[in-house]
Amino acid sequence: MPIYEYECAGCGGIFEVILDVGGPSPSCPNCGGEACRKLIGAPAVHVKRDHATGRIEKRVRDYLVDGKVKDAVRFADKAASMVKSDRVKQIADKLHQKSGK
């Protein structure tokens, strides 16, 4: 089954969803928002996304779930400096916007 990436308009979180064809739109696992936008390039199955990026995303998400935005920003910055990935950089940028910096 295809995996799609969605971005939540509410909290800016990015998550992956395995979609049933014709199924309902996903809601955000972070904030429960339903204003989610499918990211271009999906399905993501073919993207052999490196595991590091996936772990970073998950970690950031965990921070956000706990409401630790500052920790999430700090972690994402560190991750972005270590992992040369546009994706990670995107996440870090987004967190900066979110935290108002």
Rounded least distance, CB 46 to Zn ion, Å: 26
Interface region with Zn ion, contact rule CB under 5 A, candidates 17-25, 31-39, 72-80, 92-100: 31-39
Residue with the two structure tokens 């995303």: 57
Q: Name the residue nearer to Zn ion (CB basis): 26 or 43.
A: 26
Q: Among residues 6, 7, 8, 73, which is the contact residue for Zn ion, using CB under 5 A?
A: 8
Does 27 engage in binding with Zn ion (CB under 5 A)? no
Q: Which of residues 33-62 bind Zn ion (CB under 5 A)?
A: 33
Please, are residues 33 and 11 in contact by the beta-carbon 8 Å criterion?
yes
Two tokens, residue 57 = 């995303």
Region from 12-20, 73-81, 83-91, 92-100 binding Zn ion, contact rule CB under 5 A: 12-20
CA-to-CA distance for 84 and 60, rounded, in angstroms?
17
Number of H helices, E strands in the chain: 3, 3
For the bound state, the minimum distance from the C-beta of residue 39 to Zn ion, rounded and expressed in Å, comes to 14
Query: How many other C-beta atoms are found inside a 10 Å radius of the C-beta of residue 94?
Result: 18
Q: How far apart are CA 5 and CA 70, in angstroms?
A: 24
Would you tell me which residues interact with Zn ion (CB under 5 A)? 8, 10-11, 13, 28, 30-31, 33
